[in-house]
Structure 1
Amino acid sequence: MDDKHMQIGEVAARTELSLRTIRHYEETGLVVPSARSQGGFRLYAETDVARLMVIRRMKPLGFTLDEMRDLLQATDRLDAADLPEGEREGLLDRVRKYQQAATQKIEDLRVQLARAEDFAATLRTRLGQDTSATPS
């Protein structure tokens, strides 16, 4: 096997995604293995791993599969040689919109995290009050 390619198990370990999830992303067209072994096993390259990492980072921010696909198509096209300037600007605008959406989603998560931390602190305080009120 070519040492530039990895089987799905190694990719799963590197990306911390399950085999099932990687196969699902393949079925939905988000990632396509770069090659297949003679035995038919999926073989992935570093570019495939990088693509899966983009997907993995988008998922907890609540991006849909269609949004992931759109962003990946835009970045794939930006990587293409001989891209007309007008098309390039349109693609960069698409990527900028995802960057702005990601920034907003991160801020929303920070607010949720602060509320969750406040709630946990309230519970700790309550437990501390109950412990001190218990007779020895």
Structure 2
Amino acid sequence: MSGEHMQIGEVAARTELSLRTIRHYEETGLVIPSARSQGGFRLYTEADVARLMVIRRMKPLGFTLDEMRELLAATDRLDAGDDLPDAERDRLLARVREFRHTTRERIADLRTQLARAQEFADTLARRLPEGR
């Protein structure tokens, strides 16, 4: 096997995703292994790992699998080349901007939730005797 392909175990270690999760993303069409070994093992490239990392980063922000699929399709199309009609490029870029805006809103919401959780932890800490 060449150095450009990785088996699923290495990909799982690099992405901190479980084998089961990676297989699930394959079943849902989010990430398809770039190749298979002669023995039928899934083989992934750096591009596949990058795609999994996008998915991993979207998940805690509450994006659905369909939303992940939509964003990946848009970025795939934008990355495909300069032969896109201007109207399609503009539509895809607008959609990516919407995802960025939604991401920023969700991050702000998470920061608020985290601040509230920290306040709660601090409240509990104040109720305990020192060192306990």
Q: Same fold (TM over 0.5)?
A: yes
Q: Distance in 1 between matches of 2:84 and 2:2?
A: 31
Partner of 2:109: 108
Q: TM-score, normalised by structure 1?
A: 0.93
The total of aligned residue pairs comes to 129
Structure 1 position 84, deviation (Å): 1.2
In the alignment, structure 1 segments of 5+ residues that lack a partner are: 132-136
In the alignment, structure 2 segments of 5+ residues that lack a partner are: none
Partner of 1:125: 126
Q: Distance in 2 between matches of 1:115 and 1:40?
A: 49
Q: Distance in 2 between matches of 1:68 and 1:92?
A: 15
Partner of 1:8: 8
Q: For the aligned residues, what is the CA RMSD?
A: 0.8
Residue correspondence of structure 1 range 45-60 to structure 2 within 5 A = 45-60=45-60
Q: TM-score, normalised by structure 2?
A: 0.96
Deviations 1:68-100 (A, max 9, x none): 000000000001121111110100001000000
**1:43 is paired with a residue of what secondary structure?**
strand
Mapped pair 1:74 → 2:78: no
Q: Distance in 2 between matches of 1:80 and 1:53?
A: 19
Q: Distance in 2 between matches of 1:21 and 1:60?
A: 14
